[in-house]
Chains A and B, each alone.
Chain A
């Protein structure tokens, strides 16, 4: 006869007591495992939903930024890159430059890996007399935007003017009765009116655009330009200091003039778009965090409550078992069993109940947790990604549940070991 045989026979005899103890442990473990499965599944689903919402928010922000960019592009160029020796006071008083710089500067800037400026438009601009029309105009020579070397070219803000053609500002066209398709002569050279610009409310209304090479020829400035018009990028680096630093690194003998209203509007829209994006994404994250915190808070009191209730349950069952077995304890003590042996009989039984309950509870928790997740709306996807088997969790419950079960049965086992057999045997 061994202790294990005695325990197994007793378990087989008092099946209900043992089954209830196993059930108590299984309920506690199932509750814990099921809650972990639910939390993990909810976390996965919240992550998926959150990631989708975040991705959608990012898309909306990108669209918004693109819209803002497109809107602000319509404001036109917001940067002027001028020759370094240009007197800015003179430039502002005259409305055009008096100095020039090499046309090759536009290519050099376009070829550099510059990110803060784009849409580079080299121009040669000068206030001149139009002798054939007996009027003064701003003559603007342009060959179209210099394509960037390091990225795909974007749709130009202003198209090139083909050789032999001209674009005329609205006020000038009205004064001179010029219309698209008309032929006109400028300083002895004939041009076809390609387009009349809509009213701009600025010097563009009295500007005549022609091809850069023809302007250089008319103005006697071959290979020279007076300015490079540019657009600051729609990015965080496009601060006035950042632009100046980057451009002067490539073209040291130049200076930057920011067309303040356009630049400020573009910068403000970019900042607002970025701010909106950050707010949207933060709001999504906050919703997810709140949901996570709510579920964790629920689990933090429900699971311990169930575990404590089950420990008490196991303890009560052990106490009932000890009371039922008073006679048996007395005779075993009379036959020579030590108090330690009696203690070990009860403790080993509770360890076995804990182990069996842990195994059953783990399986039940996993199955019920998965079923619950599937049952919830939209739970099929979450169930598919929910954890199926966690060896470390199983090992932990197989270790801890028997220990907790034994702890619950400790006091009854001690009571059994300390029972005085003489008292019981005298009761006959």
Chain B
């Protein structure tokens, strides 16, 4: 599903260049949950954003569903993301004025879905949010917020789920629940790339990759 080859990315600051990624090669196949672990600043988030078609690499290639998203025009790349990718972030990034159900439905702004409301309601039920579907994010616990973000990421049944520190703000139980849901998605044939500090991810990952200073070390 995701094939990354010899990826390099550097950030240029005032008189200083930081090599965030250096010759990174990685592959995530359907049914796999790949956990990328490493210290802060090792390039995990950069890897995730490039894999998600949000940040153009300096060199190397990204193939998602056999398509290089950076070969597409910006609007086409946005449509491509809507069709193939789901995102989960540490800060949830829920729209603060939308209810749980509307947040789950947010991807339909980019890509309408015929049975969107029914699917959103099913996802809310699946993630234990049925009682909370009319609540706004401020009225939810952090675990509920992350489950809402997860449900939103899965609305369009993406091929690849990208998760950036999905358990970073969660307590142990909520963290386990979220990792469980990611593993469940992978077990159902999806591909998951998780970048995380959380050592519990090893228990749920089919493969763990370690990064240091922009390179994959193991």
Contact = CB atoms under 8 A, between A and B. Distances in A.
Given A9-B98, A13-B96, A422-B55, A336 B111 contact: yes
B106 A1 contact: yes
A331 B82 contact: no
17 contacts: A1-B109, A5-B102, A6-B95, A12-B97, A327-B93, A330-B93, A331-B106, A334-B87, A334-B93, A335-B107, A336-B83, A336-B110, A338-B110, A422-B55, A425-B49, A426-B49, A428-B90
Contact of A336 (B55, B81, B90, B164): B81
B87 A335 contact: yes
B96 A422 contact: no
Given A330-B93, A334-B52, A334-B81, A428 B45 contact: yes
B89 A335 contact: no
Nearest to A9: B97
B78 A333 contact: yes
Nearest to B97: A13
Given A6-B95, A422-B49, 4 more contacts: A13-B96, A338-B110, A426-B45, A428-B90
A102 interface: no
B82 A336 contact: yes
A339 B74 contact: yes
Interface residues of B, number: 36
B102 A428 contact: no
A247 B52 CA distance: 109
A390 interface: no
Nearest to B95: A328
Contacts of B93: 327-328, 330-331, 334, 425
Interface residues on A, range: 20 to 34
A324 to B, nearest CB: 10
B59 to A, nearest CB: 17
Contacts of A12: 97
B79 interface: yes
Contacts of A6: 95, 98, 109
Interface in B28-71: 45-46, 49, 52, 54-55
A3 B108 CA distance: 10
B178 interface: no
Q: Which 9 A-B pairs have the closest CB atoms?
A: A336-B82, A13-B97, A336-B110, A331-B93, A422-B55, A1-B105, A422-B54, A336-B81, A337-B110
Nearest to A328: B95
Interface string B84-125: 000101110111111000100111111100001000000000
Nearest to B117: A1
Contact of B81 (A330, A335, A425): A335
